[in-house]
Amino acid sequence: MGPLIYCSSRVWGLPIIAGKWRFLFALATVLLGTKLIAQMGSPGHGETQAIALHPSDPDILYAGAAKGFCKTLEGGQDGWPVYGLDTLSPRAIVVSQSNPETVYAGTYEMGVHKSVDGASSWKAINNGLSDLRIRALVMHPQDDQIIYAGTEGNGVFKTVDGGNSWREANSGLLDKVIRALVVDPSAPDTLYAGTWHGVYSTTNGGETWSADPDGVYDVDVRALALDPTNPKIIYAGTRPRGVFRSMDGGKTWTAGAELLGEEIESMAIDPANPSHVYVGTKAGVFLSKDRGDHFESAGLRWSNHAWCLIFDPKTSPPTLYYGGVGGVLKTINEGFWWEVTGPKLR
């Protein structure tokens, strides 16, 4: 049996399982000028909270799921076998760009774990971590020994030796509940942190942080994304005030669409068309084609969590992966239809 495809028609308001009929639905879309959106019932009850990509092989992906750390060598068609960390539900994953056998996984109650053999075995690396509730991990784009960990209540920690030791990197960070972390690939000492009370930034590798009281301040920031073609363009997804956008590296911010108060949990920007911004919410995935000013449904309206969205720029067109209720799904056509990559990740 081929891959499962989920879509529904906004013309008749009736759910349709596309499956082998997806060509006819695509033809109907052309003839009727109507977009078919994935809005079917959940394909499963698994829950995926993190997805990471292999730096060179598009068929190798990693996922943090309720059943542990999962890895696929075949784009999900091998069943997403578990590679350890059983029941720890990793919430953040980073992979070394120079040595993809080295993988780090952040868990919510057991800190950071490291594998140097492609996830076949793991070691806890929590020396210096006073908070083991890891919400976010980011890696320096040129030095895979430098990693930042965002925690639930003790701010940001930094390692410069691949996790052998950690230290706090919190000076100026008044809010220590870290929801999201991103690093500027063109200036790796510049990072942005999404917190309960806005966006903080650092330009010296976490030595000092600051927040602009006239920017995204005193609002719960759940997700951050940088324009892959211009990292000075930053997006912040909030609860419940929608999307904010900065065009100057966080110095000033503009409020975008509020999405009717939806809680934004994840964001991704199309590397082939950076004006296209995707957000994951409790009511599915939404797409803006004008840098966040307006949004339309991109499907998965059955999903009550969209924990992660990530684009793989190695594929053509770029593949958007979704992680949330139902496991890992993907689309290559703006959510026209979504393909289940394998069995549910319980």
Question: Burial level of 334, CB count in 10 A (0-12/13-18/19+)?
Answer: buried
For the residues 137-150, what does the mean pLDDT come to? Answer: 98
The percent of residues above 70 in pLDDT, for the chain, comes to 84
Specify the residue for token string 């069943």.
79
- Domains of the chain from N-terminus onward: 44-332 (2.130.10.10)
Question: CB 287: neighbour CB atoms within 10 A?
Answer: 19
Distance, in Å, from the CA atom of 258 to the CA atom of 237, rounded to the nearest integer, reads: 10
Q: What is the pLDDT of residue 283?
A: 86
| pLDDT band of 217, cuts 50, 70, 90 | confident
* Strand-pair category, 103-106 with 112-115: antiparallel
pLDDT in tens, 157-172: 999 999 999 999 999 9
pLDDT in tens, 288-304: 999 999 999 998 877 66
CA dist 194 to 16, 22, 103, 234, Å? 38, 39, 23, 12
Query: Is the preceding omega at residue 188 within 30 degrees of 0, hence cis?
Result: no
CA dist 108 to 276, 290, 293, 336, Å? 31, 35, 34, 34
pLDDT exceeds 60 at position 9: no
Question: CB 340: neighbour CB atoms within 10 A?
Answer: 18
pLDDT exceeds 80 at position 212: no
| pLDDT band of 39, cuts 50, 70, 90 | very low
Distance, in Å, from the CA atom of 259 to the CA atom of 144, rounded to the nearest integer, reads: 37
Q: What is the pLDDT of residue 69?
A: 96
For the residues 85-95, what does the mean pLDDT come to? Answer: 94
Point out which residues pair with 178 in neighbouring strands: 195
User: pTM of the prediction?
Assistant: 0.87
Distance, in Å, from the CA atom of 54 to the CA atom of 44, rounded to the nearest integer, reads: 25
Q: Which residues contact 166 (CB under 8 A, 6 or more apart)?
A: 126, 127, 128, 129, 149, 157, 158, 159
pLDDT exceeds 70 at position 36: no
pLDDT exceeds 60 at position 275: yes
Return the top range by mean pLDDT from 13-17, 18-22, 118-122.
Answer: 118-122
CB 178, CB 193: distance < 8 Å:
yes
Q: What is the pLDDT of residue 326?
A: 77
pLDDT exceeds 80 at position 85: yes
For the residues 237-262, what does the mean pLDDT come to? Answer: 86
The percent of residues above 90 in pLDDT, for the chain, comes to 71
Q: What is the pLDDT of residue 46?
A: 61
pLDDT exceeds 60 at position 335: yes
For the residues 264-287, what does the mean pLDDT come to? Answer: 95
Q: What is the pLDDT of residue 261?
A: 62
